[in-house]
Structure 1
């Protein structure tokens, strides 16, 4: 057994710094070195600002941890990287290590019971029923993009609003409330990026940022409490009604769990798909030959979708806690140790993906980890694939060519990340 590998302080800062993930090639370079030299390494803050954790960067180790939900728990420690201050804030505000208790937080036996409540809704056989609605929305979205052209910001015009509208339809949120849902999502997941939070966050103290995120969570909770009340009185054929009227072990969901369920569906259901969609469009804009190939041969579309999800890796990490002493990558992990399974690193591991930084629509196999694996694999993965395929069918029908029209920028975020701006020049088909 080798002695514990401890990351140098500068690398430790880079791994948890939001701005590192905006400098994409730089952080990928770092992960390449770590996979070779320290694939399982201890991350310790000299100022003790966060609890020490193990960084896991190799695909095979991330896959193993993701699938072994008995040995590697989502609870009791935070399931997303948090500073000690943020954890203490959450504990004081909610009694939990996380501001939101949702499906991603729970372990068995609670997790499978909660997941089962809406699982059928997100299966292909049910999604087939709403495919026509999604297709109509995709065509309206492309119409608006063409009207706004020839130069557009694809994130603002397409990849942001399109998946938001789809998931809000499924959830049962009125269209007029969608801007509010977008704003609150950006404050929750974009709180580390001043452009996305829209609040002058670069001048805020860490405590003020926590207050911003907490305020967004509270607004979500208030909104969905009212929605649940309405759906109990007037149930309809939507996910909001399923959650509002669900029984687990013969009892309704506790208010905090109910709110968390709504929030995870509302936010994770569109922010990640938005990032993958923008990533695919950027790759095609930068590779006219690949765009021409997929335009001529639509059988390549599933590959475009899958590769975009891997290449972008919108959910950049989750944390796990060891339930028992275990060895990972030659390192001894003790019971109670905290770990970061880094999906960006795993999805760019050359041992699993040849030339991983290349966007390759023909990549096969493409067994990426962007949706996770095991019991916590993303509930909405079929919806995400369907949304992206339908949108790109519409885009390829209506667009003759695309080209960059400025600098694409990625968000500052340690957790959920992706492009925040993608200027494109669009040439409509004649």
Structure 2
């Protein structure tokens, strides 16, 4: 492919489901056109940023580069804003103020308080694998549910509502995948957001009347500049935590197992030394890069890697490409469960560094710390399938055959 063809991977949901094609395209762009202007019939134009150092430079500078009005490539910057406002759409000074609302819950000390519950859930789902009799779809039976239970328990939502939250999340992030989308209409994503809004509006009203000791109550009763948090912002907070808070972890966990299955030497290495779980989980996040990109918009005329970029133009920060940058990672296309150092940008960087970083790492470590010592054998039982997406995603099917103690 040439560089123009390579750049189209960022506009094609099928590209993220074809890892070989995607990473070959990114490698070509990093070599020949690391800051590349991309035009598409269906999307507003943008600059594709594929090198690690350029992604980091932009991420550090939240004055020159704003998240609004376009946080994802499939958003039209000229369209009305979405019906909810989340942290990823906020810029200074609002972003830091709203981030502080839940920050203590996601700091290492706050996350450590959850370790017992997370370990309990990890054992519950590995026990569930054992009960399934040696064959399952690791995505549908384990990875989609385990982090969902963690994050929705943190919010304090009833377990009866968990299936609904999973379905809505898959519809939101799977809007470009026929197997996951609500329907084929142009309004499908808006319909999903509306259902989220109605659900979490009810949660907000209920927690304001009867607050508890959960994160949902903290958000519902937050004070911003001396006034109660607005309903749009409260619902946006819930939607962000309830969706990105589990779907990205699910993708890393399931994509990580797929990586182990396709790198049997690393699977044997991890089995022989379960102490490598910590570095293995970080490598899974680098390898899968569940968040495929975020967009930034230039607030002034500037340049990146010597390329002039005008005020108002958008850039796409490609995290999967940055995480395979040959100038930063030794043997970047090798899956290495002991990789150290591992300065991946799977959680982003800068002011918008992922709020749930510590929680996601703890969840991955807990599950694999439970699974690896009990796993006597494991192999693919069918062809894995990856989600067609433009924003967030990973495996949607991972059929496996295994023996567990």
By how many angstroms is 1:131 displaced?
1.1
Structure 1 counterpart SS, 2:117: helix
Distance 1:426 1:59, change over 3 A: same
Contact 1:406 1:423 in 2 (8 A): yes
> Residue 23 of structure 1 aligns with which residue?
18
> Residue 3 of structure 1 aligns with which residue?
none
> Residue 216 of structure 1 aligns with which residue?
192
For residues 316-346 of structure 1, the C-alpha deviation after alignment (integer angstroms, 9 at most, x for no partner) is 0010001111110110011111111111111
Distance 1:345 1:224, change over 3 A: same
2:62 is the counterpart of 1:69: yes
Q: How do 1:266-281 and structure 2 match up within 5 A?
A: 266-281=242-257
Contact 1:53 1:337 in 2 (8 A): yes
- Two-structure CA RMSD over aligned residues (Å): 1.5
Cα distance in 1 for partners of 2:334, 2:292 equals 18
Contact 1:286 1:403 in 2 (8 A): no
Unaligned runs of 5+ in 1: 1-5
Unaligned runs of 5+ in 2: none
TM-score by length of 1: 0.91
> Residue 178 of structure 1 aligns with which residue?
162
For residues 97-152 of structure 1, the C-alpha deviation after alignment (integer angstroms, 9 at most, x for no partner) is x3532000100100000001100001121122221111111111111111113121
2:54 is the counterpart of 1:78: no
Structure 2 counterpart SS, 1:117: coil
Match of 1:118 among 102, 109, 112: 102
Cα distance in 2 for partners of 1:33, 1:159 equals 33
> Residue 261 of structure 1 aligns with which residue?
237
2:226 is the counterpart of 1:250: yes
Structure 1 counterpart SS, 2:179: helix
For residues 178-201 of structure 1, the C-alpha deviation after alignment (integer angstroms, 9 at most, x for no partner) is 00000100111011111122x4x4
By how many angstroms is 1:292 displaced?
2.9
For residues 366-403 of structure 1, the C-alpha deviation after alignment (integer angstroms, 9 at most, x for no partner) is 10011000110000000000001001111123221211
> Residue 135 of structure 1 aligns with which residue?
119
Structure 2 counterpart SS, 1:196: coil
Contact 1:286 1:404 in 2 (8 A): no
> Residue 406 of structure 1 aligns with which residue?
382
After superposing on structure 2, the runs of 4+ consecutive aligned residues of structure 1 that deviate more than 3 Å are: 10-13
By how many angstroms is 1:236 displaced?
1.0
> Residue 354 of structure 1 aligns with which residue?
330
Cα distance in 2 for partners of 1:415, 1:149 equals 35
TM-score by length of 2: 0.96
Contact 1:403 1:425 in 2 (8 A): yes
2:344 is the counterpart of 1:368: yes
By how many angstroms is 1:83 displaced?
5.3
Contact 1:408 1:421 in 2 (8 A): yes
For residues 276-302 of structure 1, the C-alpha deviation after alignment (integer angstroms, 9 at most, x for no partner) is 001111122233332232223222111
> Residue 145 of structure 1 aligns with which residue?
129
Contact 2:74 2:390 in 1 (8 A): no
Cα distance in 2 for partners of 1:420, 1:313 equals 15
> Residue 282 of structure 2 aligns with which residue?
306
Cα distance in 2 for partners of 1:165, 1:100 equals 24
